[in-house]
């Protein structure tokens, strides 16, 4: 082999040179896509963190009101149960009301047949 001859097979074969260029282009593209993925996922993470902290602050600010509403509901629960019981008694003689109560989940369970 002469001194001026190249031992690099890429320099002699144009198809191999083209293939090498394509592989290099794909490597650059993959690197760019990975970098974009890191940026996008970081942005989404920061956004979700900020949303969670804002939501947490809002929930903390309305917690006393929610507790008050729940306590009022629990205090009035026997009155509501009595009212629903009276509606179910009334619905036994009025099938239209019975359908409305059944559709809205307030119907009394059917009586066991003997």
Structure token digits, residue 90: 């009334």
Condensed to tens digits (0 to 9), the pLDDT of residues 54-111 reads 999 999 999 999 999 999 999 999 999 999 899 888 888 888 888 888 888 887 766 5
3-state secondary structure of 113: coil
76 Cβ contact partners less than 8 Å away, ≥ 6 residues apart: none
> Does residue 113 or residue 95 have the better pLDDT?
95
Domain ranges of the chain: 25-103
CB 107 within 8 A of CB 97: no
The pLDDT tens digits for 10-33 are 557 888 999 999 999 999 999 999
Which pTM was predicted?
0.47
Look at residue 2 and tell me whether its pLDDT is greater than 80.
Answer: no
């Amino acid at each position: 082999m002469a001194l001026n001859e190249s031992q690099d097979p890429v320099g002699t074969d144009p198809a191999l040179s083209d293939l090498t260029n394509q592989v290099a282009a794909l490597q650059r593209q993959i690197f760019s896509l990975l970098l974009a993925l890191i940026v996008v996922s970081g942005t989404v993470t920061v956004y979700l963190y900020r949303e969670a902290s804002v939501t947490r602050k809002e929930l903390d600010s309305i917690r006393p009101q929610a507790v008050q509403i729940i306590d009022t509901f629990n205090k009035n629960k026997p009155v509501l149960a009595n009212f629903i019981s009276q509606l179910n008694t009334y619905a036994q003689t009025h099938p239209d009301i019975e359908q409305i109560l059944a559709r809205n989940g307030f119907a009394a369970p059917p009586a066991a047949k003997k």
